[in-house]
Amino acid sequence: MPHVVESLAAAPLTVLHEEEQLFQNSVRQFAKERLAPHVRSMDEQGLFRKDLLQEMFQLGLMGIDIKEEYGGQGGTFFQSVLAIEELAKVDPAAAVIVDVQNTLVSNAIEAWGTNEQKKTYLSRLATKSVGAYALSEPASGSDAFALTTRAKPTPDGFLLSGRKLWITNAAEADIFLVFATVDPTAGYKGITCFLVDRDTKGFSVGKKEDKLGIRASSTCELILDDVAVTHSHVMGEIGKGYKIAIETLNEGRIGIAAQMLGLAEGALEHALKHARERKQFGKRIGDFQGVQFELAEMATQIEAARLMVYNAARLRDAGLPFVTQAAMAKYFCSTIAEEAASKAIEVLGGVGFTKDYPVEKLYRDAKIGRIYEGTSNMQRVTIAKALRDPDK
């Protein structure tokens, strides 16, 4: 019987342009050489190393598609997706740091910020400052616009008061996109987006969550106690924050899909390695058909997931409709990531259930994919609406 293990390893990857391949290879090298040795300790400590974060800035990973005039790399959204995927193969926690920075924060400022805001904030995001996206609240999860954080008008601007929860990158961030309502009676039409600096009086980062997975990525609450901001800190129009949130999250879902894709690829790599090396009954376990079938199914699902992610990212870069494809990619990738990590543990057997091998961590990391930046149910709602009303 042919050795499926070898043929899977040699399967052709989706075609990339030469510059994209070079970029992908550079991120892959960083992930394997610099990131991999510290993944376990960072997971145990629940802390991302500052030196690695600084290296990600130096490599341009924190400002991939920020324009060169602001100190960024002048790359594409697709390249951000490639970086997220490669990092997630080694550590999904590192991948989501880069994801939020590129697909949410900097993208929102590029699309909605004034020229002065772009000059001020994008230059910092590209070179030294981590960004965070503060939308979620205790009573505002899937119902994202049920937020209660207030923006009370003052002669000079606004006073922001409220509490945000589950904010990724909050422990490291210097720049926050904060969504608050200027008029609770207006519903979602009162929501406005504000650019808030960490050192603003009345603003503080609160409790850091002790999580199941992606533990090195910080997730914290934010406390806003009469945080004074001027009109120059309003991003976009007053009352149009909902539009910023919707459009940005649609893009961000492609990033999460890429994270889950990379996680699944990492799980498959570990399973393949073990299947080649582990022997039972005088044969490599990868020579047994039962194991081969599991690996083949994982590889097929991953290839389908990769095509979905790349297609959604290409559509976005081309300025074509991509919302349904983003929802499909996020939904599918979060599903196959959890399945791939679970199967990898089974291929490794007893050692896969221990913390001595990386697949245990990947299994824990995978769970969040079905939850953040739009739950699986919310993605199904989006997909179903597109099927029901394809012309809307």
pTM for the structure as a whole: 0.95
The answer to whether 373 is a known catalytic residue is yes
pLDDT at 1 over 80: no
Give the DSSP letter of residue 209.
P
Look up the CATH number of the domain holding residue 268.
1.20.140.10
For residue 195, pLDDT beyond 80 = yes
Number of domains in the chain: 3
| CA–CA gap between residue 157 and residue 162 (Å, rounded) | 17
CATH code at position 161: 2.40.110.10
Q: What is the pLDDT of residue 11?
A: 40
The pLDDT confidence band at residue 139, using thresholds 50, 70 and 90, is confident
The mean predicted confidence, pLDDT, of the chain is 95
Residue in this structure with the two tokens 């879902």, named with its chain if needed: 253
pLDDT in tens, 180-194: 999 999 999 999 999
- Domain co-membership, 340 together with 256: yes
Residues 319-331 have pLDDT tens digits of 999 999 999 999 9
Query: For residues 330 and 370, what is the distance between their CA atoms, to the nearest angstrom?
Result: 8
- In the predicted structure, residue 174 carries a pLDDT above the cut 90: yes
The confidence score (pLDDT) of residue 14 equals: 62
Report d(CA 230, CA 156) in Å as an integer: 6
The pLDDT score that the predictor gives to residue 141 is 81
CA distance 250 to 178: 18
Answer whether residue 3 shows pLDDT above 70. Answer: no
Which residue shows structure tokens 């503060």?
134
- What's the N-to-C CA distance of the chain in angstroms? 52
Provide the domain limits for residue 303: 249-388
So what's the pLDDT on residue 140? 87
DSSP class of residue 287? G
Q: Are residues 277 and 366 in the same domain?
A: yes
| Residue-wise pLDDT tens digits, 4-28 | 444 444 444 467 889 999 999 999 9
Do both 140 and 119 map to the same domain? no
CATH label of the domain that carries residue 12: 1.10.540.10
Q: Are residues 219 and 209 in contact, defined by beta-carbon separation less than 8 angstroms?
A: yes
CA distance 311 to 341: 24
Q: What is the per-residue pLDDT for 370?
A: 97
Q: Looking at the structure, do residues 188 and 149 belong to the same domain, yes or no?
A: yes
The helix (run of H) or strand (run of E) holding residue 225 is strand 219-230
Q: Which of 137, 221, 251, 373 is catalytic?
A: 373
Residues 169, 224 within the same domain: yes
Digit-coded pLDDT (tens) for 36-75: 999 999 999 999 999 999 999 999 999 999 999 999 999 9
